[in-house]
Amino acid sequence: MLLELSLFFALASAFTTIAVTVPGLVRARGWVGVPVGLAIIAATGWLTAWITGDPAAGTTLVVAAAVAVLLVRLWLSRWSVLAANALAMVFLASISYLAYAAALPIIDRLSPVGVIASYVLLLMEAFALMLSVYYLFEILDVFSRRTRIEHVADPSYRAKVALQVPCYNEPIEVMRETLTALAKLDYPDVIVQVVDNNTRDPKLWRALEQLCRELGQRFQFMHLEPWPGYKAGALNEATRRLPLDVSILGIVDADYIVKPGFLSAMVGHFADDRVAFVQTPQDYRDWQDSGYLRGLYYSYKYFFDVSMPSRANRNAIIFAGTMGLIRRSALEGIGGWDEANITEDADASLRMLGQGAIGVYEPTAWGQGLMPLTFDGLKKQRFRWALGGIQILRRHWSELVPFTHHRLRLTWAQRINYLLGSIHWFGDLLTAGFTALLLLTAVAAAMHHRLPIREITGPVLIVPLAFLASGVLRGLWALRRAERCTWGDAFRAMGIWFALSWVDALAAVRGLWSGRAAFLRTPKQKEGGRRLWPAIRSSAFESLVAAATIVGAVVMLIAAPAIATGILAIMLLFEGWVFASAPWASFAAEGIHLTPFRQIYRESAQNTGERPERVRGTDLIPAALAVAVAIVLAYGLLNAPTETQAPTAQLPTIGTITHTLPSIGPTPSPANSASPWRAAPGRRDRRGCTTGT
Q: Measured between alpha carbons, how far is 387 from 422 in angstroms, rounded to an integer? A: 10
Q: Comparing C-alpha atoms, which of 333, 341, 338 is closest to residue 409?
A: 333
Q: Is 70 exceeded by the pLDDT of residue 631? A: no
State the Cα–Cα distance between residues 279 and 14, nearest whole angstrom: 36
Note whether 384 and 325 are same-domain residues: no
Task: Convert the pLDDT of each residue in 466-489 to its tens digit.
Answer: 888 888 899 999 999 999 999 999
pLDDT of residue 517: 60
Q: With respect to residue 283, please indicate whether it lies within any of the assigned structural domains.
A: yes
What confidence category does residue 678 fall into, taking pLDDT thresholds of 50, 70 and 90? very low
Residue 217: band (very low, low, confident or very high) from pLDDT cuts 50, 70, 90: very high
Q: Report the SS3 class of residue 280.
A: coil
546 and 572 within one domain: yes
User: What is the per-residue pLDDT across 218-268, written as a single tens digit (0 to 9) for each?
Assistant: 999 999 988 888 899 999 999 999 999 999 999 999 999 999 999 999 999
Q: Does residue 488 contact residue 495 with C-beta atoms inside 8 Å?
A: no
Do 101 and 203 lie in one domain? The reply is: no
Of 338, 371, 404, the position where a domain reaches its end is 371
Which whole number is the average pLDDT over 150-160? Answer: 94
Yes or no: say if 533 and 612 are a contact pair by the CB < 8 Å rule: no
- Does residue 210 fall inside a structural domain? yes
Instruction: Please report the pLDDT score of residue 465 as a whole number.
Output: 76
Q: Do 328 and 440 reside in the same domain of the chain? A: no
Bridge partner list, 405 = none
Q: Are 658 and 124 in contact (CB under 8 A)?
A: yes
CB distance 642 to 450 below 8 Å: yes
Same domain, residue pair 568 and 585: yes
Per-residue pLDDT tens digits for 636-676: 555 555 444 333 333 333 333 333 333 333 333 333 332 22
**Domain count of the chain?**
3
Last residue of some domain: 107, 129, 151?
A: 107
pLDDT in tens, 565-624: 888 888 899 999 999 999 999 999 999 999 999 999 998 988 888 877 544 444 445 555
Same domain membership, residue 415 and residue 340: no
User: Where residue 332 sits, what CATH number does that domain have?
Assistant: 3.90.550.10
In a domain, 259, yes or no: yes
Query: What does the alpha-carbon distance between residue 373 and residue 354 come to, in Å, rounded to a whole number?
Result: 37
Q: Count Cβ atoms within 10 A of the Cβ of residue 365 and give its class: 0-12 exposed, 13-18 middle, 19 or more buried.
A: middle
| 575, burial (CB in 10 Å: exposed 0-12, middle 13-18, buried 19+) | buried
Give me the pLDDT at residue 230, please: 85
* Structural domain contains residue 670: yes
Summarize pLDDT for 92-112 with one digit per residue, the tens.
Answer: 998 998 888 888 888 888 888
- CA 689 from chain centre, in angstroms, equals 25
Q: What is the pLDDT of residues 102-149, one digit of tens each?
A: 888 888 888 888 888 889 888 988 898 899 899 999 999 999 988 788
Within-domain flag for 332? yes
Q: Clarify whether residues 531 and 565 are in a common domain.
A: yes
Q: What percent of the chain has pLDDT over 90?
A: 60
Residues 185 and 266 in one domain: yes
The reported pLDDT for the residue numbered 325 is 98
Q: Is 674 part of any domain? A: yes
Residue 531 and residue 472 share a domain: yes
Amino acid letter, 514:
S
468 and 566 fall within a common domain: yes
For the residues 390-407, what does the mean pLDDT come to? 92
Query: Could you say which of 352, 371, 390 is where a domain stops?
Result: 371
Assess if residue 143 is contained within a domain. Answer: no
Phi, psi (deg, nearest 5) at residue 223:
-115, 125
pLDDT at position 118 is: 86
Q: What's the burial of 56, exposed, middle or buried (CB within 10 Å: 0-12/13-18/19+)?
A: exposed
Mean per-residue pLDDT of the chain:
85
pLDDT single digits (tens) 254-306: 999 999 999 999 999 999 999 999 999 999 999 999 999 999 999 999 999 99
653, with CB counted inside 10 A (0-12, 13-18, 19+), is buried
Residues 334 and 390 in one domain: no
Q: Residue 360 is part of which domain span?
A: 161-371
SS3 track for 549-580: HHHHHHHHHHHCCCHHHHHHHHHHHHHHHHHH
Give pLDDT tens digits for 443-462: 887 787 777 777 656 666 77
**From residue 74, how far is each of 31, 38, 360 by CA, in Å?**
16, 16, 27
Q: Which residue has the higher pLDDT, 449 or 158?
A: 158
Identify whether residues 218 and 318 lie together within a single domain.
yes
**Three-state secondary structure string covering 10-69:** HHHHHHHHHHHCCCCHHHCCHHHHHHHHHHHHHHHHHHHHHHHCCHHHHHHHHHHHHHHH
Reply yes or no on whether the pLDDT at 520 is more than 90. no
Please tell me the pTM assigned to this model. 0.87
